[in-house]
Amino acid sequence: MRVFVTGATGFIGSAVVRDLLDAGHEVVGLARSDEGAASLAATGAEVARGTLHDLDILRAAADAADGVIHTAFIHDFADFAASGEADRVAIKTFGEVLAGSGRPLVVASGTGLISQGTLITEETDAPNPPPIPRVSEQTALEFADRGVRATAIRLAPSVHGEGDHGFVPQLIEFARQNGAAAYIGEGANVWPSVHRFDAARLFRLAFESAPAGRRLHATDEQGIPFRQIAETIGAGLGLPVKSLAPDEVEGYFGWFAHFAAIDNPASSALTREWLGWRPEHVGLIEDLEAGHYFTK
Ligand SMILES: NC(=O)c1ccc[n+]([C@@H]2O[C@H](COP(=O)([O-])OP(=O)(O)OC[C@H]3O[C@@H](n4cnc5c(N)ncnc54)[C@H](OP(=O)(O)O)[C@@H]3O)[C@@H](O)[C@H]2O)c1
């Protein structure tokens, strides 16, 4: 099939492109820079030049494809409302093009957007109103009743692997800056995780066969205690590991304090049952122990 992929140059999207091509699909990827276009073309994918704000380009590319996988996101935490709105408008644009056709629309979402402190499953509804202004899942799934095979992939907050520039490298940076790896209190809050190649395969499986309206969980490990992540980072950097009292958290983590406190156990049992998805790559701790996270 011919698949239009946004975020095709990103950490996860580039793995999705590779997985799709390996499985025999044709890929048209969105790229907003010369460098991105060149790296995408080198994979064998076609390139659509444009940004998430170029709605005519998004419309034409979606119209010419058998479906859309949307992994692009403007990660601007200083103006997250604008990022969330650009995402909503892009997804709505895809939904309107695909409406009535039965074609797939697969969008990236996050388990961390769903709830905190209790185990979530694929049947757990997204909160309304959302905790932060990102409604990828809600926007896409509205089209499930309008003849679009719309699905959402809820990604673990740590999608890991070589080239990661997400939350785990951020934790490593805080440890370097502070001379110690840290966790909050007992460090008993948990983060689920998934390797990027396993996440990529789930995007493809969803595109190929997930029924309309499904929420799917890209979580290999259901929840790793934050203390264990901090201890592994401390060992990797050769730094001490410490617990932070409540009044130390802001000073250590700054803007990241909210994310460091995430307690987000997330099962993927239904995703595995529905799609036969089986993660095959290493877990987060083993990936950290491999050393590549600590070579700058
Ligand atoms: N990585 C994680 O641990 C994680 C966890 C939970 C959810 N997610 C979600 O998964 C999705 C993919 O994440 P990722 O880690 O692959 O992110 P990433 O590496 O930062 O990639 C983001 C992609 O979006 C593109 N992009 C950014 N701004 C754009 C714009 N204005 N117009 C068009 N394209 C634009 C980037 O293009 P350039 O290459 O040109 O910058 C890149 O291809 C996102 O929705 C993210 O929020 C990721």
Q: What is the pLDDT along the chain (296 residues), one digit of tens a residue?
A: 999 999 999 999 999 999 999 999 999 999 999 999 999 999 999 999 999 999 999 999 999 999 999 999 999 988 999 999 999 999 999 999 999 999 999 999 999 999 889 999 999 999 988 988 999 999 999 999 999 999 999 999 999 999 999 999 999 999 999 999 999 999 999 999 999 999 999 999 999 999 999 999 999 999 999 999 999 999 999 999 999 999 999 999 998 999 999 999 999 999 999 999 999 999 999 999 999 999 97
Cα(6) to ligand 1 centroid in Å equals 9
What pLDDT does 77 receive?
85
What pLDDT does 71 receive?
99
188 CB neighbour count, 10 Å cutoff: 11
Domain range annotation of the chain: 2-159+194-219+266-275, 165-191+223-265+282-294
89 C-beta closer than 6 A to ligand 1: no
Cα(245) to ligand 1 centroid in Å equals 33
10 C-beta closer than 6 A to ligand 1: yes
What pLDDT does 128 receive?
87
104 C-beta closer than 6 A to ligand 1: no
191 C-beta closer than 6 A to ligand 1: no
In angstroms and rounded to an integer, the radius of gyration of the C-alpha atoms of the chain is 19
- Residue whose C-alpha is closest to residue 127's, from 111, 143, 144: 111
Cα(236) to ligand 1 centroid in Å equals 27
Predicted TM-score (pTM) of the model is 0.98
Which CATH architecture fits 2-159+194-219+266-275?
Answer: 3-Layer(aba) Sandwich (3.40)
- Residue whose C-alpha is closest to residue 43's, from 63, 16, 6, 65: 16
CA distances from 44 to 120, 256, 277 (A): 38, 37, 26
| Residue with CA nearest ligand 1 atom 5 | 157
